[in-house]
Each structure stands twice: as C-alpha cells, then as structure tokens.
Amino acid sequence: MTNNEKIKLLANTLDVDEDGLNAETVLTSLDEWDSMGKISLMAMFEKRYGKQVSVEQMSDFQFVRDILDLME
C-alpha cells in the first residue's frame, strides 16, 4: 500500500479531506483528532490490519507519519 493510499484510508477513517493531510500533518491540528476519531482509528486498525492499537500508542502519535508507519 502506498503512502497516498494510506492517507486516503486515514482521511476516510477520520472523515477529513485527504488534500489537507500529509505525513508531516500534526494530529492535534485536526479537529477530528478527538476521542471519536481515535476510536475510529482503533477500529480501522483492528478491521483492516488485525492489529490492536492501545490508548497508550494513540497518545504517542504526534504526526500523520506515526500512523502511516503502523499501517504496514
């Protein structure tokens, strides 16, 4: 999966415009990076990748690239 495909999936998961996302986007700059966005992201990882992402891992995410790195 390319980074562009990952960003598209992430944008769909968080319900944001993918044109506003890139690897260097600071997550806290997104209004959608709230508790519901984090729950949606956890569900996407479970469904798509079979991975469970902990609340602690979510707290460590600072940039979109942190999420993209886990999407492998």
Containing structural domain, residue 13: 3-70
Residue 51: alpha-carbon gap to chain centroid: 13
Over range 28-37, report the average pLDDT.
94
Please tell me the predicted confidence (pLDDT) of residue 38.
94
Length of the chain: 72
Task: Count up the domains in the chain and report the number.
Answer: 1
Question: What mean pLDDT is predicted for residues 48-55?
Answer: 93
Residue 15 is which amino acid? D
The predicted pLDDT at position 46 comes to 96
Closest CA to 16 of 50, 51, 67, 58: 67
Which CATH number characterizes residue 22's domain? Answer: 1.10.1200.10
Mean pLDDT of 20-42: 95
Answering whether pTM is above 0.95, one says no
Structural contact between residues 13 and 44, judged by C-beta atoms closer than 8 angstroms: yes
Whole-number Å distance between alpha carbons of 68 and 9:
10
